[in-house]
Amino acid sequence: MQADAIKRSLESNGLRFTAQRYAVLAFLMEYKGHPTAAEIFKAVNRIDPRSSRATTYNNLRDLVKAGLVREVAVEGRAGRFDLEGVQHHHFICDRCGNVEDMEWYDVPKPDSRSLGKRVVRDCQLIFRGFCMNCAPRRAR
């Protein structure tokens, strides 16, 4: 995504284009992985030292609300963020807390009886267990 595309997607989601929001999105585009809010703040602050922690966190929250950024909640640890670009599921390691992307496949929707009047916008799975580094090695 270039600056133009970022501007368009911010505006089509009812958000004003600001240097800060741009910096948050640009960082998430570059970063391979799932940074915490603190890591995002550090990176944005390096580019623009005037940006405050509160502004960065507010921008992050606005971007999540607008559906441009996704927050992956990790119990007992800081939430992790990534772009809503390509749909994918997540895998969280219970040992090191690593968050990894898993290939997307459609999850069946609940039937209308259990859904009621709720409107489902998105459904993603979180697999839990041990990542490849932490999985116990199998004895030969």
Nearer to Zn ion, 28 or 51 (CB): 28
Minimum separation from the CB atom of position 27 to Zn ion (A)? 15
10 Å Cβ neighbour count for 33? 12
- Helices 19-30, 53-65: axis angle to 10 degrees equals 70
Which part of the chain contacts Zn ion (CB under 5 A), choosing from 2-10, 45-53, 54-62, 127-135?
A: 127-135
Minimum separation from the CB atom of position 19 to Zn ion (A)? 25
- CA-to-CA separations, 29 to 51, 84, 93, in angstroms, rounded: 19, 10, 23
Minimum separation from the CB atom of position 70 to Zn ion (A)? 7
Out of 1, 64, 83, 131, name the contact with Zn ion by CB under 5 A: 131
Long-range contacts of 55-58 (CB under 8 A, 24+ apart): 55/20, 56/20, 56/24
Site for Zn ion in 65-124 (CB under 5 A): 82, 93, 95-96, 98, 101
Partners of residue 81 on adjacent β-strands: 71
Q: Determine contact, residues 46/40, Cβ cutoff 8 Å.
A: no
Site for Zn ion in 13-72 (CB under 5 A): none
Provide the binding-site residues for Zn ion, judged by CB under 5 A.
Answer: 82, 93, 95-96, 98, 101, 131, 134
